[in-house]
Amino acid sequence: MSRVAQFLFRRKGGKGWHWTDIVTWVWLVGGLFIMFGPAVWLVGSSFKSPAALAEFPPTILPYVTQKVTVEGFDKPLDLYEVTLPDGSKGKLAEVRRIGVVGQMINPSNPGKVIKVNISQRTPVRAMSFASGNYTEPFTHFDFVRYLWNSVFVTVVATLITLVVNSMAAFALSKYEFRGRTIAMLLILATLMVPLSVIMVPLYSIVSALGLFNNLWGVILPTVATPTGVFILRQYMLTIPDELVDAARMDKASEWQIYWRIILPLTAPALAVLAIFSVVWRWNDFLWPLIVLSRKELYTLQVGLSIYSGELNVQWHFILAMTVVTMIPVVLVFIFLQRFITTGIAGTGLK
């Protein structure tokens, strides 16, 4: 514990608080809450029952009021911790509430009704995880089907993204040709065109190609990304041209130079792009919603929208399924971040 405290309150130079220590501390702790708080709240809330979700003030962890079954009452009654007028404390069940007075009974002696001011009682609460939020959608919601669609779209789109973008980046970084800069700028310029602008023409193209209501209609329009080309090209520029020359002297074809020399050396940048692509495709909502209208083709994000109806939003299911859909993205990030940080130790060049 003392080591944790030592770590948390470590200061510049060891003695005294410099103002930068305070700024750093506030900045980092604030950042931790901003970044991590919503995720913790989401996970906590995903285990709450609908009633607990509607509670105010909200809690991070899922609490429910304990109930007791009392003889003579059909429904279980809420249990309260009560301070009686004589100062003694006890656990009583509430039969009904009239105004500010609750009519309580002792569960062990249900015959006698005790009237208690509601300010004198607090509900007895215990942590309870509503695992039904997770299990129920699997049974009455086609979760596995949607999961498969999402996985298929994400994996295939990411693989194609990596191949297509790295090929473009290879050409734009390792070949000298007229208009190379212009081509690069044009690709980057498409960053300024948002999806909503090209949605209608894109839809007519996809529709004309017969890809409407087809997972390929979700995959293909998204695979060429200016961001990906840019990331990979900038990385490839740092790979020495002498390696390409050496490979040419070694009788390697242009495809081999790309596939066997450049691509393996671009691994760190490819990992970054893979993370981006997985997150983008996994979280994509609007475009799949447009292209896919048959329920069995829905991806998870589109499928989840079933729970937010016009009149009734089933938050407990939405929250639980959001947690489930977050898991693959987190796993991908944990797995690939090693590649980003490691890079390739020693390039074999001076």
Site residues, other proteins (CB under 8 A): 240, 242-243, 245-253, 256, 260-261, 264-265, 344-350
How many Å separate Cα 127 from the centre of its chain? Answer: 25
* Minimum distance from residue 350 beta carbon to other proteins (Å): 4
d(CA 295, CA 298): 5
Residue placing its CB nearer to other proteins in the complex, 265 or 278: 265
Closest to 243 in 3D by CA, of 137, 347, 134: 347
* Minimum distance from residue 340 beta carbon to other proteins (Å): 17
Residue 329: both structure tokens together: 């993205």
* Minimum distance from residue 244 beta carbon to other proteins (Å): 9
Residue placing its CB nearer to other proteins in the complex, 15 or 350: 350
* Minimum distance from residue 310 beta carbon to other proteins (Å): 55
* Minimum distance from residue 327 beta carbon to other proteins (Å): 32
Residue placing its CB nearer to other proteins in the complex, 141 or 259: 259
Residue placing its CB nearer to other proteins in the complex, 245 or 296: 245
* Minimum distance from residue 293 beta carbon to other proteins (Å): 46
The dihedral through the CA atoms of 112, 116, 118, 123 has a sign that is negative
Give me the residues paired with residue 126 across strands. Answer: 64
d(CA 104, CA 89): 13
Residue placing its CB nearer to other proteins in the complex, 229 or 262: 262
Q: 326-329 long-range CB contacts below 8 Å, 24 or more apart?
A: 326/39, 326/42, 328/151, 328/154, 328/278, 328/282, 329/278, 329/279, 329/282, 329/283
Closest to 52 in 3D by CA, of 307, 311, 316, 312: 316
Residue placing its CB nearer to other proteins in the complex, 128 or 256: 256
